[in-house]
Structure 1
Amino acid sequence: MAQYQTVRTADGVRSAAIDEGLKAHMNKVYGTMSVGMLITALAAWAINGLAVTDVANAYQIGADKYLTDFGYAIYASPLKWVIMFLPLVMVFAFGAMINRLSAASAQLFFYTFAALMGLSLSWIFIAFTSYSIVQVFLVTAIAFAGLSLWGYTTKKDISGWGSFLIMGVIGLIVASLVNIFLQSPAIMYAISIIGVLIFAGLTAYDTQNIKNTYIAHAAHGDQEWLGKAAIMGALNLYLDFINMFMFLLQLMGNRE
């Protein structure tokens, strides 16, 4: 009986320690993701020309729309294609390199990726009104928070969603590339609706996966691995947010 009480107490202490560790882990995931979002926003803001104060020497591309010299070079040259596809290349590179990187290097890689993503997304300030961008961002933030909270708290195992959702992402990429040449509004509308649904599902799935991954490995005490897992989790949730935001912007945003 005494031995049983000792085991039960030890399990209780271990569970409490894991719960505290999980809380710290999730805080790191969301904190790293938030810093990445801020870097992306600042990079997009700086490059699209909103930061220009000397408008007499800036490139005007619309009513109250100006570009820096660097911004004009990007939008008026083949460099725009490099900026567009480089973040996608970096995502695959990050997945391949994560085991060889330290936690600090992985974090630096993520922040560099976030800056490049900002350059890639800076065109939205030209195509859409600032009000609609802010409005859609807030809608996305509310939806993301609700979906992530559900993924974290639900008792339902949604790990089976993973393969289906990843196949959906691949289909979206292929359809988007094809529509670059077709320029079909109907296809773009369908892609946007499906994209919102897929990344809504991925937000819940990735949150639960981050939680389960930590619980499964916390007992091993490998802090370096857990640090890298937090960065990878932040990247996944960051991509879920960005993609959901972009698809909602296509559906709800007011164009200039």
Structure 2
Amino acid sequence: MSQFDVDSAHQNSLPQWGQTADLEAAARTDMAARFMNQVYGWMAGALAVSGVIAMTVLSSEALVGAAIRLYIPLIIAELLVVVALSALVQRMSATVAAGAFLFYAALTGVTFAPILLLYTGASVANVFFVTAGTFTSMAVFGAVTKRDLTGLGSFLMMGVVAILIAAIVNLFLASNALQFAISLVGALVFTGLTAYDVQKFKSLGYMGFSNPEQRRKTALIGALNLYLNFINIFLSLLRLFGGRR
């Protein structure tokens, strides 16, 4: 065998590093896609729970009356559940976290019922479809853009804080103009956060997780974030464009 043949055989036996890197990148991309499917699955499930509960409450005058009477306590319960879930998820099992998430979605369905009563069914349906289209568009943008949205996310979170402060102030002022501004800014902020959150959690899915339990809990937090974005976009658009009864 000539020296050339020996060298060629040696080169052919070496690992194809470029090919290996491509295979690893493809595997990570597939892993991220499966993770995001899990995120979207939990989000869709939570929205379904909220919708079913809201329709159930609306079907009964007694339940609607109870939801109205207990509206403030229910809102407080919602806040406590979502804060506890966000802060303590790493100490919970994935099963407990999933239960807390779905319980929060059920509470949201109850508190939605009195709000939906204020608007015509047609306008609620129209706003829902507009919200779904807006959310989907921004989710796709967040998934495919090469631009780092980290800076935008920090700016938008400041917007969320400003919205919360303005909403508390408006509880005392009851200003229609301020409510309009809150709804307009809210629609923009939570639309932007949708793209940011999708990019963030897709990146986490690409990097992988130490164990399936951690993966599931992270998927639940991602679903919670996207669920909150969807709900807040919907409420903001409903207040801006919903037709009152």
Verify same fold: TM over 0.5: yes
1:135 corresponds to 2:145:
no
Question: 1:119-161: CA deviations, max 9, x gaps?
Answer: 1111122111111000000000000000010000000001111
Q: Which one-letter code corresponds to 2:160 in the other structure?
A: V
AA in 2 matched with 1:154 = T
Q: Quick one: distance in 2 between partners of 1:250 and 1:154?
A: 30
**Where does residue 158 of structure 2 map in the other structure?**
167
Deviation at 1:10, TM superposition (A): 2.8
Q: Which moved more, 1:14-23 or 1:232-241?
A: 14-23
Q: What per-residue deviation string (whole Å, max 9, x for no partner) do you get for residues 205-244 of structure 1?
A: 000001111223x1x5422111111111000000000000
Give the letter aligned to residue 178 of structure 2: I
Identify the residue that residue 24 of structure 2 maps to in structure 1: 14
Residue 42 (structure 1) aligned with residue 52 (structure 2): yes
Change (3 A) 1:3 1:233: farther
1:93 alignment partner in structure 2: 84
What is the CA distance between 1:5 and its match in structure 2?
3.7
SS in 2 for 1:160: helix
- Could you say which residue in structure 2 is the equivalent of 1:124? 115
Which residue of 1 is the match for residue 104 of structure 2? 113
Q: CA RMSD in A?
A: 1.5
Partner Cα separation in structure 1 for residue 217 and residue 85 of structure 2 = 11
Q: What TM-score, normalized to structure 1?
A: 0.87
Residues 152-188 of structure 1 deviation map (CA, whole Å, 9 limit, x = unaligned): 0000001111221111111111111111221111001
- C-alpha distance in structure 1 between counterparts of 2:206 and 2:90, whole Å: 20
Deviations 1:78-133 (A, max 9, x none): x2101123222221111111101122221111111100111111112211111100
The sequence identity of aligned pairs, in percent, is: 36
Match of 1:196 in 2: 187
Which has the larger share of helix? 2
Structure number with larger C-alpha Rg: 2
Q: Which has the higher contact order (CA 8 A, sep 6+)?
A: 2
Q: Matches of 1:90 and 1:221 in 2, distance apart?
A: 27
Aligned counterpart in structure 2 of residue 153 of structure 1, from 144, 159, 163: 144
**For structure 1, which runs of at least 5 residues remain unmatched after alignment?**
53-66
AA partner of residue 6 (structure 1): Q
More displaced 10-residue stretch of structure 1: 194-203 or 94-103: 94-103
**Partner amino acid for 1:233?**
G
TM-score scaled by length of structure 2: 0.91
Return structure 1 stretches of 4+ with deviation > 6 angstroms: none
Structure 1 residue 74, shift from structure 2 partner: 2.9
SS of the residue corresponding to residue 148 of structure 2 reads coil
- The aligned counterpart of 2:6 is none
In structure 2, the partner of 1:31 is 41
Q: AA paired with 2:161?
A: I
Aligned to 1:73: 66
Distance in 1, Cα, partners of 2:185 & 2:147: 23
The answer to which of 141-150 and 81-90 deviates more is 81-90
- State whether structure 2 residue 213 is matched by structure 1 residue 224: yes
